[in-house]
Amino acid sequence: MSRLPPHPHLARLWRSGTDLLGTETAIMGGAMTWVSERHLVAAIAEAGGFGVLACGSMTPELLAAEIQATRERTARPFGVNLIVMHPALDRLIEVCLDLRVGHIVLAGGQPPGTAIAKIKGAERKLLCFAPSLALAKRLVRSAADGLIIEGMEAGGHIGSVSTAVLAQEILPGITEVPVFVAGGIGSGEGIAAFLGMGAAGVQMGTRFACAEESIAHPRFKQAFIRASARDAQPSVQIDPSFKVIPVRALANNGTRRFTETQLEVIGRFRRGELSQEEASLAIEHFWAGALRRAVVDGDVEEGSLMAGQSVGFVRSIQPVAEIIAELVAEAEAALTRPVDRAGARPRPAATGG
């Protein structure tokens, strides 16, 4: 059972989020492929947060096994993140429904109407990602129970708009359902700020990637601990004719070789050695298996070290319960700090030399 510090101000601000999730806190664990599996998800749930399994490219059989294994480790609520482009999306949804998963998160694009209808018809909670106010309103009309807005400061595949801008655009316009803010959040003060803007909770991935319960390789975790926010950089698109979905990751030899590979492949296309389709596939396949090599095998030079800009807040390997308790204490302290005449909450005086 989690042992969280008292947080009456937080409890009031994120009540709609905790009511939706069925948790003590409205802190969701971001779905990170190869990282957000049974051990980390169960640990987040046990600590009072809301863990989310990353289905990624799993088969329905693998997903079923992962859900069951997570259930063996916690009786608390957790969710499953499904990518809408997965060729077996319908079957994956059926697996979640058959195994009584209470919350399903649809990510990676606009959810198909058939998927929404199947989830809502089974009376399960549906959360969706909303990259704009217009789509957020459409998803609410489609019966989404909650929304997640994720800024470009996040790790992995990213959009083009910052978290702060999305929050200012979407939070005032969506009051019907809880909205969770994600991307670059690494401290309790950040959580308090977005709750003050109207968020119902937050989603965090990078802070949990180095948790004690995370199965990520020790070299992967040490790379995060050594990194600063500026080390988490988006991938570069060399030529607009060859689309590259931006991915934010720690810069390493792999990211440098990706730029070189694009130049080489595009050069071959210009010389007529490759068709545009062949060239696009060669660029797209560069990172195939790279995330697994980094997370599982510990190849921090050539693998993909997907990380958000909040990586600068990762300073040590901590148990999940300690991370969540620390975030709660920081957020509650920020909310209870006295306000000066200018309306600002003064920070505690610095100590030491």
Q: How far apart are CA 45 and CA 78, in angstroms?
A: 6
Q: Please determine, for residue 352, whether its predicted confidence score (pLDDT) is greater than 50.
A: no
Q: Please determine, for residue 349, whether its predicted confidence score (pLDDT) is greater than 70.
A: no
Mean confidence (pLDDT) of the chain: 94
pTM listed for this prediction: 0.92
Taking alpha carbons only, the member of 196, 206, 200 closest to residue 148 is 200
CATH (residue range 8-214+313-335): 3.20.20.70
pLDDT attached to residue 342: 55
Q: How far apart are CA 189 and CA 91, in angstroms?
A: 40
> Which one-letter DSSP state was computed for residue 34?
T
| CB 257, CB 242: distance < 8 Å | no
| Average pLDDT value for residue range 302-307 | 96
pLDDT attached to residue 348: 54
**HEC states along 73-124?**
CCCCCCEEEEECCCCCHHHHHHHHHHCCCCEEEEECCCCCHHHHHHHHHCCC
Q: Which of 6-20, 151-165, 239-253 has the lowest mean pLDDT?
A: 239-253
| pLDDT tens for each residue of 167-183 | 999 999 999 999 999 99
pLDDT attached to residue 57: 92
| CB 97, CB 115: distance < 8 Å | no
pLDDT attached to residue 351: 41
Q: How far apart are CA 185 and CA 207, in angstroms?
A: 9
| pLDDT tens for each residue of 250-259 | 999 999 999 9
| pLDDT tens for each residue of 318-342 | 999 999 999 999 999 999 987 654 5
Q: How far apart are CA 297 and CA 291, in angstroms?
A: 9
pLDDT band at 295 (very low <50, low <70, confident <90, very high): very high
pLDDT attached to residue 112: 96
pLDDT attached to residue 350: 45
pLDDT band at 203 (very low <50, low <70, confident <90, very high): very high
pLDDT attached to residue 284: 82
Q: Please determine, for residue 40, whether its predicted confidence score (pLDDT) is greater than 80.
A: yes
Share of the chain above pLDDT 70, in %: 95
| Average pLDDT value for residue range 184-197 | 98
Biggest CA–CA distance in the chain, Å, is: 69
Q: How far apart are CA 32 and CA 203, in angstroms?
A: 12
Strand partners, 233: 249
pLDDT attached to residue 337: 86
Q: Cite the residue boundaries of each domain of the chain with CATH code 3.20.20.70.
A: 8-214+313-335
Helix, strand, or coil (residue 338): coil
Q: Please determine, for residue 1, whether its predicted confidence score (pLDDT) is greater than 80.
A: no
Question: At 126, which amino acid appears?
Answer: L
pLDDT attached to residue 136: 97
| pLDDT tens for each residue of 69-115 | 999 999 999 999 999 999 999 999 999 999 999 999 999 999 999 99
pLDDT band at 345 (very low <50, low <70, confident <90, very high): low
pLDDT attached to residue 241: 86
pLDDT attached to residue 30: 97
User: For residue 12, what are its two tokens?
Assistant: 């009031």
Indicate the pairing of strand 179-182 with strand 103-107.
unpaired
